[in-house]
Amino acid sequence: MDANTPAQDDSRSTKLDLKALDTALERRTIELPAGVTPGGSINTISVVPLGPSPTSQSVIVESPEQETTHYISLDAAAGALRSTSRPTPGSSLEVPDAHAGPFYGAKGAALKQFDESRAATRDHSVAGTPPRSVAGIGTKIGKPDYSEAKIVLALVGLPARGKSYLSNKLMRYLTWLEYKVKVFNVGQLRRKKALEREQMQGVKEDHNANYFDHNNSNAMKARESFAEESLESLISWLKAGGNVGIHDATNSNRARRAKIAARVSREPNLKLVFLESLCEDPVVIAANVALKASAGDPDYKGMSHEEAVKDFTKRIRQYEAVYETVEPFEWEGMPEEKDRDITPKALEERRLALIDEAAKNPGPNNPKVPLVTRQMAKNVSYLKVINVGKQLDIIRISGYLQSRIAYYLMNLHLKPRSIFMSRHGESQYNVDGRIGGDAPLSPRGEAYAQALPSLILDNIGDKPLKVWTSTLQRTIQTARHLPYPKLTWKSLDELDAGVCDGMTYEEIEEEYPEDFANRDEDKFNYRYRGGESYRDVVVRLEPVIMELERQENVLVIGHQAIVRCLYAYFHNISQDDLPYINIPLHTVIKLTPKAYGCDEERYKVPIQAVSTHRPKPKTETDAQGDPAAVEKKRSTTARNYYGDDQPA
């Protein structure tokens, strides 16, 4: 029966509301009510609203074998459509019980007919955000429009207080959420300029502790120049399309911060947030000093570790002598503004004079007077992180993006920890080559589940550990032998393949060759009809990321797409490469967060399993053809001392 066939009066006929059923399948909002077990032949299958909300829909099934009408799940209806030939008048459609088994096999021919029959109504069931760009079973979704988000995030803090740690964490998090983020590190610019002069003039500059003495006027002018050049580069980058530019510098006195506020105030679309990192924990400071002295910093080239520690400690003392913490009074506006007779020119002259005076004698004893006008301060917000996450002060934070930054910072900590990630053991669907579903483990997958506890125990020892799984049985079965507290997350469920759930890639390619090619062309943005894209998965995993940042030792037992997304976050891998990260079965990935990235170890359990990895297709712009190329792009824990143009 096609979409234009009139409904039959015969009680044995099958009535199918194609438009409503398709819309409901795409929304996937209804599950089978508890205690209802539909089955048998049916007279009528249609979709009706169950409440005032247009998304509250279910499938009604009227069965001649049963006296009462039953509601069946949309999944069951979809399964029936995929697994039977097209219903005709006078025939019955067998609807499987949604609770009868853990998974079902799906076919593609009936679904293709279903698509063709609904051509007239297709446009009405498309979500209103991005335009449809492919035909058939899926759509490509567009990137969110963040063009209006423009933030200058200026760091404040003494050396060895975790500023670069915070800037790199924020860059990784916001980039994972698809904001354009870049760090403009003044120290990198200083070292790069010094290297260029050394290469051109053959003279090596000595940037020891004396270079950072406030009384060294020549060095002070040079450092101010580097800070201003870095800020100008940042603003130009934001105006060219960036979202968050991070000014990574000490910005340690009010005069410097007033100059930043005045400069940003001249750009009408930019917001300014100061992020101050205060740390009084001697253990954390000592660890940061030791890392700085031993990590290959060019400032200490040729020095012993002891000499480097001594010089860097002296540098910190130079900064401490003139350091001024961020305080609310800075952004109250100048008292002189209350003088109605003062002209704008006279007010600006007064402001510049106050800045010069403050710059000459910075430090705790500097008179606490505002150095910016109320107009300049209007768009200034600030955050103060104390002891890297133990306390966060939030002042005048507004808007979605600023709120996300503040919330993320609330969840950070520096405690040593490891994050273990593993896919579930091999499932029966893996063996069959099918995607999605809720299949149980295969015999080899069960063997992996039994071997997993000893592997984890060998690596974690007697340290506490939490185990997270999805709600799907293959992850729960994989975790059941682990002697640790377990938490089940719906957010960790596998990428929803929608109407292709239960199909093989060969079936999808055969039935929908155009869609198969379109997904390969842009796998991150391709959304299955009634299902998800990788972009959708990233969005729903954000709460998981927040909780992972708060926790200590965690083992995540997930699925291929889920582990790919989490892995990409910790290693700062791009969206283009994310869907092609190789996450093999029966392998545990151990990530140990460090100051500038994550160390990684992999443990392969010697239990054979199928490979479900599909390499990134070669294109004109990416013809490297190296299966390990994506893994090579992951971030490193080594610090970059020269910026984007770091020399070999």
Question: Looking at the annotation, which residues are catalytic?
Answer: 248, 424, 494
Nearest C-alpha neighbor of 170 from the set 319, 325, 383: 383
Residues in the chain: 648
Gap between the Cα atoms of 474 and 441, Å rounded: 6
Residue written as token pair 């103060």: 384
Instruction: Report the alpha-carbon distance of residue 219 to residue 473 in Å, rounded.
Output: 64
Is 276 in contact with 383 (CB distance < 8 Å)? yes
Q: Which string of DSSP letters, residue by residue, matches 99-130?
A: TS-S-----SHHHHHHHHHTGGGGGGGS-SSS
Q: DSSP for 158-211?
A: -TTSSHHHHHHHHHHHHHHTT--EEEEEHHHHHHHHHHHHHHHH------SGGG
Six-digit token string for 446: 């069960």
Instruction: Check if the beta carbon of residue 315 is closer than 8 Å to that of residue 213.
Output: no
C-alpha span between 149 and 254 (Å, rounded): 26
Confirm if 41 and 29 have CB atoms less than 8 A apart. no
Contact (CB, 8 A) for 409 and 392 = yes
Of 28, 2, 98, residue with least CA distance to 529: 28
Contact residues for 46 (Cβ-Cβ < 8 A; gap 6+) = 15, 16, 17, 20, 21, 59, 60
Q: Give the span between the Cα atoms of 488 and 479, in whole angstroms.
A: 11
Q: 269 CB contacts (<8 Å, ≥6 apart)?
A: 148, 150
- Residue 557, SS3 per DSSP: strand
Helix then strand then coil, in percent of the chain rounded to 5, is 40, 15, 45
Are 469 and 486 spatial neighbours (Cβ–Cβ below 8 Å)?
Answer: yes
State how far the alpha carbon of 183 is from the alpha carbons of 135, 146, 574, in Å.
40, 18, 16
Q: Which amino acid is at 10?
A: D
98-123 burial string, b = 16+ CB within 10 Å, else e? beeeebbebbbebbbebbebbeeeee
Task: Tell me the C-alpha distance between 497 and 531, whole Å.
Answer: 5
Answer yes or no: are the C-beta atoms of 443 and 426 closer than 8 Å: no
Name the nearest CA neighbour of 481 among 557, 590, 564, 418: 557
The two structure tokens encoding residue 499: 């109407």
Tokens of 61: 């099934």
Which two structure tokens, joined as six digits, stand for 38? 């539909």
- In terms of Cβ atoms closer than 10 Å to its own Cβ (0-12, 13-18, 19+), residue 386 is middle
Task: Give first-to-last CA distance, the chain, whole Å.
Answer: 68
Residue in 173, 179, 204, 200 with CA at minimum distance from that of residue 191 = 204
Among 20, 39, 40, residue whose Cα is nearest residue 30: 20
